[in-house]
Structure 1
Amino acid sequence: MNTLFIIFLLLLCFFFLLKSEDITRAQEDNYATEEEKEVKGFDENTLFSPYTKQEWRSYQHKKINEGRKTRLKIMITYPNKTAVTGAKLYIKQLTSDFHWGCGMTHRILNNSAYKKWFASKFTAADFHNELKWYYTEPTQGQENYTDPDAMLKFADEHGIIVRGHTVLWDDVKYQQKWVRKLSPEKLLQAANKRVDSVVTRYKGRLVGWDVMNENLHHNFFEKRLGKNASAYFYNRVHNIDPDTTLYMNEFNTTEHVNDEWAPPEKYLRRLKKIQAYPGNSGMKMGIGLECHYGAEPIDLHYVRNSLTLLSQAGLPIWLTELDVKIDPTLENKAQLQVIYLEEILRESFCHAAVKAIVIWTGASIDGCDVMCMTNEKLENTPVGDLIDRLMEEWKTGNIEVVSDSKGISRVSVFNGRYEVTVVDPVTDVSSSVTFKVDKVSIPDGNVHLQVLG
């Protein structure tokens, strides 16, 4: 009897223990943030394992400080070299070495509000379709550059740099019907005419050319013109526009670990093959990564390793069409999209070789079906809020500092162009100077400024 009573007590204790755990979990849920409630069931540890999120962030901050920022020691003196104690310095960032970009379509041409929104945010653009061969010459012999001409004019007027996307495309799906019907001899003539036409028209006006789009996954021109077709067209573009950087532009190089066609190793091998083609050795080249992340959870380790490997080529990297597609059946799809996008952006930014990120696309009036920064009224979506926040985080705000007793002020700033105004503490006379800040322009971080006295 005593034994049964003891067993009963033990079971009773176990029951209350389980109920206590349930109550504790319920209390923890009540104290969870709104974001955590909205993405219930999401385990962020899967993104960073075996590291914690804090460890992942610490590494990113370290790389940003090393590659994106410069520590300045600013020495303020009078013309007689006497140190100025108490001089006020007003530091303003004029431009950034890093570009935020966005996809652009012809819809922007007749929408003044959209133009204002675009120009207020972005310093770079990628035309969606308007520079592609099928857009400018849908019918053989009938070229029309009206839309790209007007879009480039708008960009020039607002200091927005534009990528030439794309001279040719290696995917058979995107060849005009008349192009597909050409014999190899006629195809070469038509492709040469296309190259000469578009590159000559915009020579010296673009920040780069995507010469042969997606030619790791596709081979339309190689199958018809020979294995060196892409390298040949790079050479032809280079000879017309030798000062503009020429890019390979490819998808799934950072997005999918299981894509056998375009991993970083194959990307770099193809790039070197293009560079090795006769006449291409001195060609300026860059790495273009489309970054269309799919519906499945991202592999941040693969993103990091891919960008690290590609950075070793010593070439500028542009993320040219970045978006994040989320499985529409997921209950928390909107919140997950923002979470995954933030991690991709943060990881990409911490690699100094990444010179620009082009969001694909901006406003919903541009027909974005995967990811939009705004609705049709140009009001921010959660994606837009995130990007605005990171834009603010990754620039140097206006800084006011005062020189110490030795006339020295120390600041850490993002690389770019700056205006520094110095105010004499005695006369209140000010003088301003502009200069470039990076580890090449100011390798030791020392800046010497004089006040008029």
Structure 2
Amino acid sequence: MKTSIIFLLLIHLCIILKSGNITVAQINEDDIDTYATPKEVKGFDENTLFSPYTKQQWRSYQQEKINQGRKTQLNFIITYPNKTAVKGAKVYIKQLTSDFHWGCGMTHRILNNLAYKKWFASKFTAADFHNELKWYYTEPNPGQENYTDADAMINFADEHGIIVRGHTVLWDDVKYQQKWVKKLSPQKLLQAANKRVDSVVKRYKGRLVGWDVMNENLHHNFFEKRLGKNASALFYNRVYNIDPNTTLYMNEFNTTENVNDKWAAPEKYLRRLKKIRAYPGNSGIKMGIGLECHYGAEPIDLHYIRNSLTLLSQVGLPIWLTELDVKIDPTLENKSQLQVMYLEEILRESFCHASVKAIVIWTGASIDGCDVMCMTNEKLENTPVGDLIDKLMEEWKTGNIEVVSDSNGVSQVSVFNGRYEVTAVNPVTNVSSSVTLKVDTVSIPDKNVHLQILG
């Protein structure tokens, strides 16, 4: 038994070493038992999250990765028209947008609640609909399509600059098929599914940031059983040909949540993604990785989350955490504190992977029917989860800052990647000059931003 544990430890260690996280000297045989799987871990203890490292070591690594992947250090160089430096110029830096999106699940309940609309629009730049774009919702009976709720929700999102994921075109789980769909022959099923694809994708072509084409097709195979092993790849091809400029996602659960789920391990996720792209006509698809991230009541394995995201990041595709929540055993006295603690560690670990382009919280307000995790109560007052999200939203943005140029006319600032408005003000005359710029790893190669102001 001990030999097998040591073997698993060595594999685990190799993956972490590759990410630059630890050195061999930090591991010894006494630490082997701390690598138990979630089912073997007893109780809820913060040490379980970090051992054999300290919380400070995890935070230090995370901050280093954030600085490398999500921030850019810029030199603002302020000069007069004759190229001489402006000493003491005030430089105002205003963040307009972020390259990272905070999102939230949304339902049709938002449509008739003005306060909820204001709350949602004030916080989030991305949304994932719970049910309103799913086939069983838009066509419960054959030939009777109804997109009223989805239309209104997408219009609301457009009005407030909120990007929307198309969740989902089809779903591979048999229990979420309409009764009439289950009764169809393979030939009729293919016709009905193609009609569904054409209907929803053509209706919202170019308006959505991405499509979940075949939801959860690692765990389920409704369409493959009836239409053949390439059914999912075929539908990705159909969506691609209708809406070729939109990112198409696989969307799956337990790829980061549960080390014991044999169906959705990161390696199997990437294998299925490769198979979809290898299908004739699919090589040009813009693909993305969708991870539902429904964490259960068992202790969280941060090591597995880190290793999974590191492996998935290596293919260079955008990663979205699409339905993030944390379920806690309701019988525990400190369940609220544990939920917030685990959620924070999951969010911090996820954010330090630059390939993670968005995190969608599931769900926002209790009026939206959340049964696992709510950010607010029915009065839109924050829960402890809401307080945590607000704290991290503030921490992970540059916001508005003011700096002063030195004797060489230079101000050095590290900012989160995104779009900015920068204004330099003459310290004597108050004459100003402004520029709007995009900050990321490639837009400003030399990291120097030049602004001229009049004397």
Superposition map of 1:411-450 within 5 A: 411-450=413-452
Q: Does 1:319 align with 2:344?
A: no
Q: Distance in 2 between matches of 1:267 and 1:336?
A: 29
Which runs of structure 2 are paired with 1:244-323 in the superposition (5 Å)?
244-323=246-325
Residue in 2 aligned with 1:391?
Answer: 393
* SS in structure 2 at match of 1:319: strand
Deviations 1:394-453 (A, max 9, x none): 000311111111110000000000011110122211121110011111122111111133
- Mapped contact 2:44–2:299 kept (Cα < 8 A): no
The question of whether the paired residues in 2 share the 8 Å contact of 1:253 and 1:263 is answered with yes
Alpha-carbon contact 2:108-2:149 (below 8 Å) kept: yes
**What are the equivalent positions in structure 2 for 1:315-354 lying under 5 Å apart?**
315-354=317-356
Q: Deviations over 1:74-96 (max 9, x none)?
A: 11111221111111100110100
**Match for 1:431: what amino acid?**
S
* Structure 2 Cα separation of the partners of residues 281 and 124 of structure 1: 27
Aligned-residue RMSD, C-alpha: 0.7
In the alignment, the residues of structure 1 paired with residue 66 and residue 451 of structure 2 have an alpha-carbon distance, to the nearest angstrom, of: 27
Name which one, 1 or 2, has greater alpha-carbon Rg.
1
Deviation at 1:42, TM superposition (A): 4.8
Partners of 1:74 and 1:409 within 8 A in 2 = yes
Q: Tell me the CA shift for residue 212 of structure 1.
A: 0.1
**Whole-Å separation in 2 of the counterparts to 1:443 and 1:275:** 32
Q: Report the Cα distance in structure 1 between the residues aligned to 2:107 and 2:289, rounded to whole angstroms.
A: 23
Equivalent residue pairs, number:
413
Letter in 2 for 1:54: Q
Task: Work out the CA distance in 2 between the residues paired with 1:55 and 1:78.
Answer: 46
Alignment partner, residue 100 of structure 2: 98
Answer whether contact 1:170 1:213 (CA < 8 A) is retained.
yes
Structure 1 unaligned regions, length at least 5: 1-40
The one-letter code matched in structure 2 to 1:436 is: K
Q: Any gaps of 5 or more consecutive residues in structure 2?
A: 1-42
Higher alpha-carbon deviation: 141-150 or 82-91? 82-91
**CA–CA separation in structure 2 for the residues paired with 1:448 and 1:429:** 16
1:366 is aligned to 2:364: no
User: Pick from 178, 181, 192: which aligns with 1:179?
Assistant: 181
Q: Does the 8 A contact of 1:69 with 1:412 survive in 2?
A: yes
Code of the aligned partner of 2:147: Y
Structure-2 separation of matches of 1:371 and 1:121: 17
1:206-242 CA-to-partner distances (Å, cap 9, x unmatched) read 0000000000000000000000000000000000000
Structure 2 partner of 1:70: 72
Query: Contact 2:403–2:411 at 8 Å: present in 1 too?
Result: yes
- The 8 Å contact of residues 433 and 451 in structure 2, kept in 1 or not, is answered as no
2:231 and 2:448 map into 1 onto residues whose CA distance is: 49
* TM-score with structure 1 setting the length: 0.90
Contact (CA 8 Å) 2:201, 2:242: kept in 1 or not? yes
Q: What secondary structure is seen at the aligned counterpart in 1 of 2:454?
A: coil
What is the TM-score when the length of structure 2 is the normalising length?
0.90
Tell me how far apart the structure 2 counterparts of residues 255 and 452 of structure 1 sit (CA, whole Å). Answer: 57
Please list, as runs of the form range in 1=range in 2, the aligned pairs for 1:200-239 lying within 5 A after superposition: 200-239=202-241
Matched residue SS, 1:372: coil
For the residues of structure 1 that align with 2:393 and 2:420, how far apart are their CA atoms? 17
2: distance between equivalents of 1:263 and 1:105? 30
Contact 1:439 1:445 in 2 (8 A): no
1:72-129 Cα offsets, whole Å, 9 max, x none, are 0111111221111111100110100000000000000000000000000000000000
1:407 and 2:409 correspond: yes
DSSP-derived class of the 1:279 partner: coil
1:295·1:325 contact (CA, 8 Å) conserved in 2? yes
What CA deviation, in whole Å up to 9, does each residue of 1:160-199 have, x standing for no partner? 0000000000000000000000000000000000000000
* Residue 46 of structure 1: how far off its partner (Å): 1.0
1:189 — aligned with what? 191
* Deviation sequence 1:296-333 (CA, Å, 0-9, x none): 01000000000000000100000000000001111111
Counterpart CA distance in 1 for 2:366 and 2:185 is: 41
State which drifts further: 95-104 or 440-449: 440-449
Shift of 1:43: 2.6
